[in-house]
Amino acid sequence: MRVVIQRVSEASVVIENKVVAQIKQGLLVLVGIEDEDTLEDVNWLTSKIVNLRIFPDENDIMNFSVKESNGEIIVVSQFTLHAATKKGNRPSYIKAAKPDIAIPLYENFVKHMEIGLGKQIQTGQFGADMKVSLVNDGPVTIIIDTKNKE
């Protein structure tokens, strides 16, 4: 699994001109899933994200997690995170998991994020054409790949 985590002061997801997710301060998490990903990847990654200390304390030092700062989270599926661009100019998405593998892992990812955060999170819609808007706070952007966790 590969994620791009952005600390935001606000973010939203629009599908067919309808706002389906909207938050103020928190995280926008773009998640890409590969065929080899497992529930172990989901557990490790969701725990890492919820506890990642990237929110400022009273001295403006990144010491608080999204949970400690009472932030919100939007999760958006993003198969293009696994684009292979080595050959040619058209990205290949051969490493991205097909829906029969990706959807159950994505749903587990969302469920584990909610458990870790202790409240409901918002999401885009798997496979939909989404318009994602955000104000990156910092800017703070972190990329994590479960294939590089050791």
Which residues are known catalytic residues?
80
Task: Report the run of H or E that residue 139 belongs to, with start and end.
Answer: strand 131-145
Residue 23 in contact with residue 74, Cβ under 8 Å? yes
Best CA proximity match to 144, nearest among 8, 45, 77, 75: 45
- The span from the CA of 17 to the CA of 32, in Å, is 24
